[in-house]
Amino acid sequence: MADALLETAISNWGPRFTASGVDASDYARVTAELSTWDEWCAAWTRAADQHDTLARIALDEGRHLSAGEAFQRAATYYHFGKFLFVHDLDQARSTHQRAVEALTRALPLVRPTGRRVEIPYRHHHLVGVLRTPDSSTPHPTVILVPGLDSAKEEFSLVEAAFHARGLATFSLDGPGQGESEWDFAIEPDWTPVGAAVLQALESCDDVDSDRVGVWGVSLGGYYAARLACADLPIRATVALAGPFNLADAWDHLNPLTRAAFRVRSHSASDDEAREVAAQLSLAGHAAAISRPLLVIFGGRDRLFDVTHAERLVAAVPHAELLLLPEGNHGCANVVYRHRPYSADWLAHHLGASAPTNSKESR
């Protein structure tokens, strides 16, 4: 395998794929067949098509839950086909649309069910998926914020950790992310985004808008911290693997990530993208965080070194730091060390009550 971009993708993101629901055997098979980065999107689209077919067969046979799970898996595979494939936007957009369609078909079939929520924003709208534990009462809710190359289609297993603890989830495609990346450039200040999302959640009967938290990963960890800095009714925040100042890491970013940032920030050049990156900084903002903050970081993060976490914690003295020395970017290789912990942490701070286990209730 001589293609440097393909080597970058395979060496960096295997654990993330499997931690997000990609079958390990599928990952090994699909990547083994590739010889160039140009083949990436089409290969993952074909793999997703197989799960989409399984979903349709299950649906025809009346196996609705199995169909929903297969549609959900297909959506994740389609998403990973386009996640960094920014040099061919026509192909990426076509595959991304199939991810959206697959997830939309999954939502009424999976447990708990979910629904799309479109939020008016500037000249268009943002999109999120709301899923609540099976109950008629309003739930404390966690807004899940993707990073530069993630989207709501990647979050089914993250959502499950929160649902099991009595929390609803709202997986958001913000500016520069998922469905919103085609209409909105990356925005350094997420205060307007947070205000729009919170206003939309207030109108949802199954959301307790007085008990809202935020969880964000990678660049979403930065966005989550920026939301915590704002004067918004957010009770607790988890920032996983976010940069303190993106410009400080710019020269060390791999070429796929830099290209994705240039495209999704709607920058005309790398120099312009670097200038936008410099605006994504918590300097001068982090000290305003007054509510609970959990910072999670991996000691082997290839995108952002641990000083980014240390600077945030130093600026927010009451913040808790969960440093995992063996963790990679997003700590995807040690999800068992942080995913349950962060779900427990937010459940505690939002006052969630876990669903009763039927055996324990006897």
- Give the model confidence (pLDDT) of 275-286 as tens digits: 999 999 999 999
Q: Give the pLDDT confidence score for residue 358 in this predicted structure.
A: 39
Please determine whether the domains at 1-110 and 114-354 fall in the same fold group of CATH.
no
Domain topology for 114-354: Rossmann fold (3.40.50)
Q: Give the pLDDT confidence score for residue 362 in this predicted structure.
A: 27
Residue ranges of the chain with pLDDT lower than 70? 1-2, 355-362
Q: Give the pLDDT confidence score for residue 356 in this predicted structure.
A: 58
Residue 213 has φ and ψ, to the nearest 5°, of: -125, 175
Superfamily of domain 1-110: acylaminoacyl peptidase (1.20.1440.110)
- Alpha carbon distances (Å) from 224 to 105, 194, 212: 29, 9, 12
Q: With helix as H, strand as E and coil as C, how does the chain read?
A: CCCHHHHHHHHHHHHHHHHCCCCHHHHHHHHHCCCCHHHHHHHHHHHHHHHHHHHHHHHHCCCHHHHHHHHHHHHHHHHHHHCCCCCCHHHHHHHHHHHHHHHHHHCCCCCCCEEEEEEEECCEEEEEEEECCCCCCCEEEEEEECCCCCCHHHCHHHHHHHHCCCCEEEEEECCCCHHHHHCCCCCCCCHHHHHHHHHHHHCCCCEEEEEEEEEEECHHHHHHHHHHHCCCCCCEEEEECCCCEHHHHHHHCCHHHHHHHHHHCCCCCHHHHHHHHHHCECCCCHHHCCCCEEEEEECCCCCCCCHHHHHHHHHCCCCEEEEECCCCHHHHHHHHHHHHHHHHHHHHHHCCCCCCCCCCCC
Q: Where are the domains of the chain?
A: 1-110, 114-354
The answer to whether 83 and 152 have CB atoms below 8 angstroms apart is no
Residues 6+ apart with CB under 8 A from 266: 185, 186
What is the maximum span of the chain, computed from C-alpha positions, in angstroms? 64
